[in-house]
């Protein structure tokens, strides 16, 4: 998990920085002139503007977390025992040992799980974004 965080943190920060830099300065200055403090500016102006980008990043990370094979395979090979073996690593090991049916079954289960989780997350975020408009 630490290796995965180390791998993805720069990407997340660069995308969030781009979202923050693309904000309109006029809205921020208007809120400060109207008497809002920094926390209120962040909570009511900045956060709603970067919420779609943040939601997209969370969805990307959720999908990528299910696809992780390389780090557990390289670092521990699923060990000790099967303690760090994920479903994707199990599908890879099954495929490598020519258990194609088992590997395909695991892959389809992962596809269904990721699709349902992504749709639920997308609907939740879409509702929260359309309520604020």
**130 plus 72 within the same structural domain:** yes
The per-residue pLDDT for 104 is 95
**55 plus 104 within the same structural domain:** no
Please provide residue 28's backbone torsions phi and psi, each rounded to the nearest 5 degrees. Answer: -65, -45
Give 58-110 pLDDT, tens digit per residue. Answer: 888 888 888 777 777 778 876 787 777 788 888 888 999 999 999 999 999 99
pTM above 0.75, yes or no: no
**78 plus 124 within the same structural domain:** yes
Query: What sign for the dihedral angle of Cα 33, 36, 37, 38?
Result: negative
**DSSP conformation class of 36:** -
**What is the domain extent for residue 100?**
67-133
Domain boundary residue, one of 61, 81, 96 = 61
């Amino acid at each position: 998990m630490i290796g995965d965080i180390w791998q993805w943190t720069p990407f997340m920060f660069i995308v969030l920085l781009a979202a923050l830099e693309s904000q309109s300065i006029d809205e921020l200055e208007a809120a400060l002139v109207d008497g809002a403090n920094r926390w209120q500016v962040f909570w009511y102006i900045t956060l709603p503007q970067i919420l779609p980008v943040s939601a997209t990043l969370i969805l990307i990370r959720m999908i990528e977390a299910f696809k992780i094979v390389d780090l557990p395979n390289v670092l521990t090979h699923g060990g000790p025992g099967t303690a760090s073996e994920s479903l994707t690593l199990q599908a890879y090991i099954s495929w490598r040992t020519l258990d194609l049916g088992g590997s395909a079954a695991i892959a389809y289960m992962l596809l269904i799980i990721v699709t349902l989780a992504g749709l639920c997350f997308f609907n939740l975020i879409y509702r929260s974004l359309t309520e604020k408009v």
